[in-house]
Structure 1
């Protein structure tokens, strides 16, 4: 039975073909065969992305569906020049054919050709170009954010410190990064997504092209200024990495790149965990192919002996440097400005530690005579705390992890101006407190002052530090059961006051 007889009008059906270039559809004009008792018509065909047999939907699995009448079968050539299996026969009218394009490149143009076959009819051939864009799935989860002492972490890529169900910003971090892809997970936590690692590597660069950055490992937390002593360095690097082995890789190679010297610090064969976030921590001095000195880029590749499947995709989050918890005061001479002395947050207050100063003690941190003033930490009437507490008050905070239940000494020097002024109730004073525990919020630290392990209120006001002015104090205390204590410094004064040379050490 003839489906369409000669001389009878044909209703041409407009078809669609998918294009990634403009997320729209392109109309293809219909073509009809001639000859014989019937006429077959290939109006159009559609080419649409969708999930493959495993449910993976990355944009490379394309299904072609011809729109036609009077056709027995079709031959679909998906136009992949590197394949011998990209030509598929559709054995019946109304059927479709699917092909999974390779994903070694993010975006590739292919020409799809559909050829109709019908008894007694000429072949009808239609072709059009499509752009196949490989778009790997976004992982629907995110790893736990860092917790603990904010001052011990330098962020390369991470949303922040986990605190009270939200994120606190890092005290030290890169200004910016440049990377291939950044995606957002279902938990609204940004993660980096790298794909096609079987044939490519993925590089995370520090800073921007116009303003590159670098990390000097020995100075990650604070760089020395001028001829000051060494900075505060990092000891470890952390990565959270996710890979679903069906669409990812099972082994990872991480390379830290030093652009200054051309050195590369390599860690190969990193074992990942199938379908879970792997928490990876490495010692910068011992775990890589050489001790890490400087980092300008981080490169991720398929590890030696590993397998790259389907998308060859990994997700990376929480890339940060860390240092070991300290049992000694860092930057106790304030040569590195406020480094290590800022509390993470302060409800109804601010996180500034103290005023900048060049009127510190004439004694160096090692106890030697400097012959002139050093840096010091300064407070004024406007930045005083205690009973003068306001949104402008400043508090110096440093967390320590000491040997539990052990006797220690808190040592420091202070000075207060002797200028005439209306003093606060109780007189002008410099206050040093050993808090029982670690704190994130300055308001909580203030509330904990009443249950401190030790404190000293300095009231001697003889003027600025000089070769003859400055009061030295030693405050004994015993650490708590956890060993987690914090030093808390502030002033209550109508005139300027200073702390300097703050130390904590075991009692002799």
Structure 2
């Protein structure tokens, strides 16, 4: 007879016993007396009660009778006469814990009342439905976090699929003879399988081809599963089957255990289900509860190829400096038909033919799993651009003794085309920081009033008076630079007042073409702390916008405002990044 008596469960939660009368305590009518011999004590077995507790499989029987000195109780679970439980006192009871392999099983309980030294007895029987109701554990530690990158999620947060890089479709949880619930476990949801059986649970889904798990040709590298069980009510070892392979994993007691396999090393090419079973030499106790979370396919983060070229790259000898992330191997194609270099930071000699030439350089890097990623850059040789470009009148100051704004300030920033030919209104309310960076009194600056602003953030002209400030530069091609400037917007506007700064990809003859082009970098400043000189000279905001010059080094600056209040620009600088 198996599972006799209570299994050390510390607390019993009384549940409903489902009998033919649908009551937890059952009173049965007495049956016929089996012997009426003269002088023999008669046994009158009037009824017995049954109480159900625990997970719905623990049943206690208490007989009620007259004349009985002992009782035998057969719980109907394939027990032999020798294994029947005996009660030796009036008012006594006996408890039996039914197996919990199945969710619902009907058993016949037989109670036999006997008198001492007599063969006289009486028998009562009734059917009982045993319904296993596992209790979701509330003392499980929070399951581990997973990285939110390069993950194909099969199961996360119980049965909710979280879309990391991707997620699988048509996921189904099949417990077989086990019971599955998406339970609140500790502070998080987890998939929870209960009831002792050979197959604890199964997760099935559309077939995943490992080589194309993330996209065509983008392979998964490994599989991860988080597992948890409390040994006293669960199991200490689990068998995991997937992709034609079977694994055994020991489980720590009441701690999450990570199961990880390398899919390539294991030769697994596809999976469409993951089956959990009791380990081959494992022990399952009580409800055999197993918690599962964070089933996902993972790939090693792809390398991010990147490189810079030396500041003298416009001659014919070019040094390439690797700036890649997560790269373990390098392959350089210099675009001139020469041999590929596998150096991390190669120097390449292009043909010195006295001409300006453009070559497309390709850097291909691989991550630790051998997956390749490439990037390209156009490199110009045979021409020299400006390393430290001068911004003409970037301080917006007049020449000494010259009171004319147009001749020496506005003239440096003019561009023809739509809008007003004056690029801005000059103002004495410039920055309190001078062009060299020291703090002093207010200087001159560029000013845009509400009547001088563009119609929208895209720079659409308001006919007649929109002001665009423009200046063109020849920079070192494919080189990192910084556009630095200060801006200020008076307070009290409509909340959408903006100062727009852009580095344009090329030189332009008119404002219409410049505004319509796609910039290399663009910033919309919306901080309205007042004029530069407001609040003890703290009204302005300094911006530093990094960018990479284009393949020919021809770029330009364009400023304009979209504002209902006065807006200002000062201290415009353009210089190589450190």
State whether residues 24 and 50 of structure 2, in contact with CA within 8 Å, keep that contact through their aligned partners in structure 1. Answer: no
- Which SS does the other structure have where 1:246 is aligned? helix
Paired position in structure 1 for 2:257 = 278
Whether 1:254 and 2:245 are equivalent positions in the alignment is no
CA–CA separation in structure 2 for the residues paired with 1:174 and 1:75: 56
Instruction: Give the number of the structure with larger relative contact order, counting CA–CA contacts within 8 Å between residues 6 or more apart.
Output: 1
Taking only aligned residues, the RMSD between alpha carbons, in angstroms, comes to 4.7
Q: Structure 1 residue 22: deviation in Å?
A: 9.8
CA–CA separation in structure 2 for the residues paired with 1:325 and 1:452: 31
- Which SS does the other structure have where 2:152 is aligned? strand
Paired position in structure 1 for 2:126 = 128
State whether residues 18 and 46 of structure 1, in contact with CA within 8 Å, keep that contact through their aligned partners in structure 2. Answer: no
- 298, 304, 309: which one pairs with 2:285? 309
State how 1:103-122 maps to structure 2 within 5 Å.
Answer: 103-118=100-115, 122=120
Structure 2: tracts of 5 or more residues without a match: 1-14, 307-361, 363-372, 378-455, 459-478, 481-503, 506-510, 523-541, 554-578
* 1:429–1:61 Cα change, 3 Å: same
CA–CA separation in structure 2 for the residues paired with 1:99 and 1:92: 18
- 203, 209, 220: which one pairs with 1:216? 209
- 40, 43, 47: which one pairs with 1:44? 47
Q: Structure 1 residue 82: deviation in Å?
A: 5.4
Q: Structure 1 residue 453: deviation in Å?
A: 9.2
- 251, 267, 290: which one pairs with 2:247? 267
State how 1:105-504 maps to structure 2 within 5 Å.
Answer: 105-118=102-115, 122-140=120-138, 141=140, 143-148=142-147, 150-159=148-157, 169-179=163-173, 180=175, 181-187=180-186, 189-196=188-195, 199-206=198-205, 213-221=206-214, 223-224=215-216, 230=217, 232-257=218-243, 264-268=244-248, 270-286=249-265, 290-328=266-304, 428-429=517-518, 454-455=546-547
Give TM-score scaled by structure 2 length: 0.47
Q: Deviations over 1:227-247 (max 9, x none)?
A: xxx2x2221211111122233
State whether residues 28 and 44 of structure 1, in contact with CA within 8 Å, keep that contact through their aligned partners in structure 2. Answer: yes
Structure 1: tracts of 5 or more residues without a match: 1-15, 51-56, 207-212, 225-229, 258-263, 331-362, 369-385, 389-407, 410-414, 417-421, 434-449, 459-470, 474-508
CA–CA separation in structure 2 for the residues paired with 1:24 and 1:145: 44
Q: Structure 1 residue 40: deviation in Å?
A: 5.1
State whether residues 160 and 168 of structure 1, in contact with CA within 8 Å, keep that contact through their aligned partners in structure 2. Answer: no
Q: Deviations over 1:57-100 (max 9, x none)?
A: 33332211223444322111111215676411111111110112
* 1:136–1:29 Cα change, 3 Å: closer
* 1:121–1:201 Cα change, 3 Å: closer
Determine which structure has more spread, i.e. the larger CA radius of gyration.
2
State whether residues 159 and 169 of structure 1, in contact with CA within 8 Å, keep that contact through their aligned partners in structure 2. Answer: no
CA–CA separation in structure 1 for the residues paired with 2:64 and 2:520: 84
User: Which moves more between the two structures, 318-327 or 18-27?
Assistant: 18-27
Give TM-score scaled by structure 1 length: 0.52
CA–CA separation in structure 1 for the residues paired with 2:268 and 2:109: 50
- Which SS does the other structure have where 2:149 is aligned? helix
CA–CA separation in structure 1 for the residues paired with 2:46 and 2:182: 40
Q: Deviations over 1:338-376 (max 9, x none)?
A: xxxxxxxxxxxxxxxxxxxxxxxxx997879xxxxxxxx
CA–CA separation in structure 2 for the residues paired with 1:452 and 1:170: 33
Aligned residues: 321
Q: Structure 1 residue 114: deviation in Å?
A: 0.6
* 1:29–1:275 Cα change, 3 Å: same
Q: Deviations over 1:111-159 (max 9, x none)?
A: 11011123679422111111223334422225335343x2322111112
CA–CA separation in structure 1 for the residues paired with 2:19 and 2:305: 58
* 1:137–1:472 Cα change, 3 Å: farther
* 1:246–1:20 Cα change, 3 Å: farther
